[in-house]
Amino acid sequence: MSLLRVDDVYKAYGDLLVLKGVSFQMEKGDIKVIIGPSGTGKSTLLRCLNGLTSPDKGKIWIDGIEVTDPKTNINKIRPDIGFVFQNFNLFAHLTALDNVCIGLVKVKGMKKSEARVLAMEELRRVGLGEKAGAYPAEMSGGQQQRVSIARALAMNPKLILFDEPTSALDPELIGEVLKVMIDLAKGGMTMLVVSHEIGFCRAVADEILFLDEGKIIEKGHPSDLLVNPSYQRTKEFLNKIIKLYGEERDKA
C-alpha cells in the first residue's frame, strides 16, 4: 500500500479548470519534486492532499485513508501530513519554540514540558536552537521558514508537503532552507516538494513531475528529465527556469 496515492484529480476555480486528471503515487522514503509554470495548479494539488482544498473529482489516499472522503475526520490525518507554506505562516504571537510546541500540546495532547523538550530538539535540528525565544517578526525569512519546517517535523509526520518553500525568500537566504530540506531527505523523510530549485532536484530527488496545464506531462529521474526531457514543453520550461534563476546552487 503506497503512502500517498492520487487518483485522477480534477479541480476548477469558477470556469478555470486548474487540475485536469492528475494521478501519481508515492512510497515511503520517496522524494518527489513537482515543477511547472505558475498558475498550473501545483499549489492547488498540494492543498488537496491535506484537505485545505477539495478536488471536484478524483480521490486521494494517505497511508490507506481516503482524504477526499467527506466522512473522514480530516483533523486526525493532518498531524501525519506536514505542510510547509510559501509564506511560512508562523503564528505571529508565539515565539519560535511555542510555534513548534503548540501542535504537540493542542493536537497531540502532550504536556507542555514534554512538548518543549521535543520542540527544542527540532529547532536545533534545523539550526535555530538559539532562536527559541524569538518572535517571527524578529527573524529573517530563512529563519522563519526553518522554524516552520521544525513545526511540521515536531508532529512526526509520515510525509511532508512543501509548497514553494523558497519562493518568498531573498536569494541569500534560500541556501539555509535548502540545506535543511536536503538533510531531511537524506535522513529518509518522504517529501513532496513544489519548487523550481533544480539544485535540490539534482541533489536528492527520486523523481521530477512536470505539471503543465493541469496535467502531469512528463515524469522521470532528474538525471533523465533534466538532461534529456522527452517533451518540447518540458524542454522550454527548463530552459526558462535556468535562464531566470541561473545555474542551480550546489548543496551537497
Partner 1 sequence: MTGFFEFARIYLPTLVEGTIVTLEMWAWCMLGGTILGLLLGLCRVYGNKPIFVLSSGYIELFRGTPMLAQILFVYFGLPEIGVLLTPVVAASIALGMNTAAYQAEYFRGAIQSIETGQVEAARSLGMTQIQAISNIVLPQALRRVIPQWSNEPILLLKYSSIAFVIGVPELMARAQMIGYSTFRFFDAFLLAALIYLILTNILAQCLHTLEKRVSVLPKSK
Q: What does the alpha-carbon distance between residue 181 and residue 204 come to, in Å, rounded to a whole number?
A: 9
Q: Which of 192, 155, 197, 207 has its CA nearest to residue 177?
A: 197
Least distance CB 22 / partner 1 (angstroms): 20
Which of 94, 182 has the CB closer to partner 1?
Answer: 94
Nearer to partner 1, 90 or 203 (CB): 90
Q: How far apart are the first and last CA of the chain?
A: 32
Minimum separation from the CB atom of position 226 to partner 1 (A): 30
Alpha carbons within 13 A on the beta-carbon side of 143: 17
Q: Who's near 228: CB < 8 A, 6+ residues apart?
A: none
Q: Cell numbers at residue 97, please?
A: 519554540
Which residues contact partner 1 by CB under 8 A?
50, 52, 75-79, 81-83, 85, 87, 89-93, 102-103, 106-108, 135-138, 148, 151-152, 155
Confirm if 234 and 225 have CB atoms less than 8 A apart: yes
Please tell me what DSSP assigns to residue 96.
H
Smallest separation, CB 195 to partner 1 (Å): 18
Q: C-beta of 83: minimal distance to partner 1 in Å?
A: 4
> Which of 192/208 has CB closer to partner 1?
192
Which of 89/224 has CB closer to partner 1? 89
Cell of 179: 540545506
* One-letter amino acid for residue 60 of the chain: I
Q: How far is the CB of 48 from partner 1 (least distance, A)?
A: 13
Interatomic CA distance for residues 27 and 130, integer angstroms? 35
* Minimum distance from residue 232 beta carbon to partner 1 (Å): 36
Beta carbon nearer to partner 1, 36 or 82: 82
State which residue, 18 or 160, has the beta carbon closest to partner 1.
Answer: 160
Which residue matches cell numbers 495532547? 109
d(CA 95, CA 100): 9
